[in-house]
A and B are shown apart, each in its own frame.
Chain A
Amino acid sequence: MTLTLDQLEDRLTHSLKAFQDAPSFSKDDKRNRLISQADLLCRNENGVELLYHRMPELDAAGLFAGTVWEDPNQLVAGLVKGTLLAGPPTSTVEVLNELRILNISEGRIQHPAFSPEQAEKFLHQMMVTTFELAFEDFSHPGWSKRYAAGELKKIEMLFSLIKKRLDIGNIKPALLEEIEVIVAHRPVVVTRIKRILRVIDEELELDLSEEKDRKLQYYIRTLFRPSELARKYEAHLQYEVALEQLSAEALKEECLELGQSMFDTGLVSDHQLVLLHYVLKRNPALVPEVLALNAHGLADYERHENFVTQVIQDFIVPGNKQAIYGLARVLQRNILSRKTAWHAINRFVKIDVDPEVAKRLLQGNLSDHNLTAMQSLIGGTLCVLGLPLGVRQGNNPTCQSARGISMWSRHAPAKLINMLIDAATSNNVVFRYEGDQIESADVIQGLTQQFDLQLDPVSITLVPLLDKVYNEMMKRAGLKHFGKDPHASVNPAFYGHWIQTGFRSVYNPTFHAIEKYDEFVRIFYASFHPDYNGGHHLIYPVPTGIFITNASAQMLGYHAISLLRIEEAPETNEWRAYFFNPNSQGKQDWGQDIQPTVWGNGERHGESSLPVNQFVSRVYAYHFNELRLEDKHLKVPADTVTGITKLSKESWGLKYRWI
């Protein structure tokens, strides 16, 4: 027996009046009540329409005044997704905010500093970054496990309204850009791009006379219908039958085409899986073509053909077909030819997965197919080993762990596999910290309480454990080395002792101030920049702590990344710092025109980059080699240092004292 729309509207009007009449000191309380009324309306179609129509009144009453939504120019489209899922009252206000922006874009609300064009642009961006939610029907059980049904309804209702009023075709250019960025960046988890492509395929119209639309079609085809044959015989069984009819020549062509598509985009189609299994049985000589292997990959495949065949047959299924790409990359990296990795992986494929871990892996399965824990795990491991820079932290504050997995995959794959064996079989890992042993199972609290399991299977298995270990190490370091930055001792213990022994941080905890910044910058250049360190490239990645700033250069918090190389960008010859960022989804904006890119500046798949000076302006700590420093830092030009100091002082530096 719910209330009618009229009754709800009455209540809204009543609450609105109370809000309008409230004196300054009780505005907040009245606002909360008004929002809770609006919340009721958000949950059905008519209610949301009503709120949309009355938004000019609500906005004029000052609904958003004094909140983070107050100034539309400060809004970040990329944050909308998280806010909509954050629960009431935040999620409610976000819904109301989108309705208000919609009203501005249609001219129904005039804002002195935010034009209808700006509003429309924001909505387009928002639709792209919130794409998963905008076109989701929330039927997958994973949703109801994590979020209240009413909250999901609100999101559905909001986007249903927006899609009616906004010309969705206009977001295609933004979507294309998003897709191209993801394709260039090659993350391990490709759920997002696949969903975007599916929605475009099913719900948007493509105009093939437009170049951008043709490009979109290319990506859609790569994922869903990668060859002419696949376009003719979309159904998998039919496709398989059609393969049987092909001549040897034609079959080879088919393998080359599909292999090349995968190589170019990093995406694996269902048809490719069918093709791979088919040639494995009928014509194994073509397997390297399907995997698009180069000479290195081919050599490794030939040496370990039996094992690879077994892996494909046992573990690669529709639910984890991306593992085909992972496998191809693993072969290209010649990982199987490393004795240690070879032994480790042979052992790995035979383990029994611990039930707790299996549960996590099952929860993390976002595909529409069933996956056993082992299939999930092995498939995921192939992807992580194949794409060390494709590991991401997801919606968890676990950048340190993600960074670790990436580094181990790159430099110590056997160590990673060995750790996975421990974690997957006993849900436990053991680390050494300065003479003591730390077992994750003994640690009660990690940094994070609830994990968002939208991650790759390796992270799902390891990160909850690593997080606890890392947290425990930080605690012990804080006690044992009081007054010193704990990262100095924790990073080597956690990541490995190849981390250099020198350590610099900008922060002096005793005085709560930034000190010796000059020297900090100089040592950085003298250690890592070929122009100043004697012309050398980095041997190992450098775990680096950075300040994260928003587009207005205001400090948001701290983050863990690794510096991979400092080199001249092709074509421009500009010196750039290339780094691995575990929460990178593409371009970012750190304020002061500092915008890390992920392609177009010489980045390899998975790297982000910035001009060196801009990069350094955000760094707060790094490890370096003291023995080789000598006096090189004295030769770094003064104006380089001054320029960087200025950038720092005017951004995160505003929050600190400088001595």
Chain B
Amino acid sequence: MANCFALMGWSLPVIESVQKSGLPYVVVSFPEFGPYAKEHNIPFVGYKLDEFGSHSNSLELVEMLKPFNADVAVPLYEETVEWSGALNSIYRDDPRVLNRAFLFRNKAMMKRKALLGGLKVGLFEEVHSKEQVHKFLDRLNEAELQLSGEDDAWFHAKPFAAAGTIGHHFIRSRDDIDRKMSVKDFPCLVESHLSGKEFSCEAFIQKGKVRFLNITEYVKLGYSNFIPAGPELEGKRELILSEVQKMVDIFGIEFGMVHPEWFVSDDGKTINFGEVACRIPGGHILELCGQAYDFDALLAFVVSHDPNMTEEELDKYFPPKGYMPEKKFGNVMVFPKPGQISRLEIPEELLEEPYYMDNNLVEPLGPQKITARSGFGNHFGTVNFAGEDPQRMRELLKHYEDVPFYV
């Protein structure tokens, strides 16, 4: 059992879970959160996590955490992954832990490791200019045996180290390159489009073995999802589990939770590896997971990082092995449409819907202007659903993505 968990990053839902469990913890985040933490009795260490140098580094942070007896670092956000890696490599006296952390923070490096290990990835390269992108497209088209007059192969351009879909460009033609990409996108990773149904999963790892796997079905990435996935995906669980374990082996992950994204073909025979993160996934996925399987998934996320926890101790935090719930829990993240909004309006049909659970949509403070979204941040709240029919769930989520809650 760990002496104290250092939660890297500010997340109230995680703090709530850990506080309830009674496990000792301390939160490490930007100093601005200090006063709030004090007010609400949250053990806290303020640190400028966005700076790195002789004045700000993991060795110093370890010292600051000593009074709390911290011995396990838990990364809650993309930006704290390397900090956690650094701290854990000190705590476990294993320098490779830090290197592994960097795998998650550079998509190109991640892909290369996956490729070396034998996971199925697309054709990918690191590029530094539009010219290189054009040359990449040439090579890709060539490999796809393109005849003149045929459409260009599709590919994606992504920054090396951004969360979600920030800075992501989906390129469907040569024109798109010049139209969508600009100087500030470089350097970045380009990868050929992976076909298949996209889904993510959350794999909780202990001593290098996947001890619990959740599969999430997206209705629309960034807007809505539900857990457990429908039968089409759940039916492929064995294949998915073996690929995930393979990935875990390749990356050498020993403890924690990973959130890989995959593309699976309809016949279930091929799985392509998208990318993997090791921090808390967006879209309230762990909340949904917890509600569906009836356990505190955020807490499970935290304790999975403890190398000294035994199997029996861990079992307490997870659902019974092999348990597959009947009811699906899903949500829609509501973003107001661009334009002028002045108030919140809940549609009648939603209130009549038996699958509708509740919502926490905030009222706009006054008339305001909404600009186009970027990177899925800052939704105005979620609308939650629960029910047994995955088809109905898909319908509802799809429908309510488009309904304007803010007018």
Residues of A within 8 A of B (CB): 1-3, 11, 15, 21-26, 29, 32-34, 36-37, 39-40, 43, 86-90, 148-150, 449-450
Contact = CB atoms under 8 A, between A and B. Distances in A.
Interface stretch (B53-61, B63-71, B212-220, B345-353): B345-353
Interface stretch (B11-19, B114-122, B263-271): B11-19
A87 B12 contact: no
Interface string B314-335: 0000000000000000000000
Contacts of A39: 346, 351
A2 B360 contact: no
Contacts of A37: 358
15 contacts: A2-B354, A11-B358, A15-B358, A21-B20, A25-B36, A33-B359, A36-B361, A39-B351, A43-B351, A88-B344, A88-B345, A88-B346, A89-B361, A90-B363, A148-B345
A150 B351 contact: yes
A87 B360 contact: no
A43 B346 CA distance: 13
Interface in B358-395: 358-363, 367, 381
Nearest to A89: B363
B343 interface: yes
A91 to B, nearest CB: 10
Contact of A23 (B40, B348, B367): B40
Interface of B: 12-13, 15-16, 19-20, 36, 40, 42, 340, 342-346, 348, 351-352, 354, 357-363, 367, 381
Max count, chain B CB within 10 A of own CB: residue among A1, A21, A33, A86:
A33
A36 B367 contact: no
B348 A150 contact: yes
B351 A40 contact: yes
A25 B340 contact: no
Given A87-B343, A87-B345, A32 B360 contact: yes
B342 A449 contact: yes
Given A23-B16, A25-B16, A26-B12, A2 B352 contact: yes
Contacts of A15: 358
Contact of A36 (B40, B354, B358): B358
Contacts of B343: 86-87
Nearest to A4: B354
Contact of B40 (A25, A34, A43): A25
Max count, chain B CB within 10 A of own CB: residue among A36, A90, A450:
A36
A121 B197 CA distance: 63
A552 to B, nearest CB: 23
A232 B351 CA distance: 51
Given A25-B12, A36-B346, 12 more contacts: A25-B16, A32-B381, A36-B358, A39-B351, A86-B343, A87-B343, A87-B344, A89-B344, A89-B361, A90-B363, A148-B345, A150-B348
A29 B42 CA distance: 18
Nearest to A28: B360
A25 B358 contact: no
A148 B16 contact: no
B40 A24 contact: yes
A616 B179 CA distance: 63
A33 B16 CA distance: 16
Max count, chain A CB within 10 A of own CB: residue among B348, B351, B361, B363:
B351
B354 A1 contact: yes
A3 B12 contact: no
A40 B354 CA distance: 11
A205 to B, nearest CB: 37
A15 B291 CA distance: 13
Contacts of B359: 32-33, 36
Nearest to B386: A11
Contacts of A33: 358-360
8 closest cross-chain pairs (CB), A and B:
A32-B360, A33-B358, A36-B358, A36-B359, A25-B40, A24-B40, A26-B16, A150-B348
B399 to A, nearest CB: 16
A449 B12 contact: no
A89 B346 CA distance: 9
Nearest to B42: A25
A22 B354 contact: no
Contacts of B342: 449-450
B198 to A, nearest CB: 29
A26 B362 contact: no
Contact of B360 (A21, A22, A36): A36
B262 to A, nearest CB: 32
A36 B356 CA distance: 11
Contacts of B363: 87-90
A123 B346 CA distance: 28
A2 B355 CA distance: 9
Nearest to B19: A23
A48 to B, nearest CB: 14
A149 B349 CA distance: 11
B40 A449 contact: no
Contacts of B357: 11
Contacts of B346: 36, 39, 88, 148, 150
A135 B39 CA distance: 47
A32 B362 contact: yes
B367 A449 contact: yes
A148 B358 contact: no
Contacts of A148: 345-346, 348
A43 B187 CA distance: 56
A149 B352 contact: no
A450 B20 CA distance: 47
A303 B373 CA distance: 69
Nearest to B357: A11
A11 B357 CA distance: 8
A2 to B, nearest CB: 5
Nearest to A448: B367
Nearest to A38: B358
B67 to A, nearest CB: 23
A22 B16 contact: yes
B102 to A, nearest CB: 33
Contacts of B12: 25-26
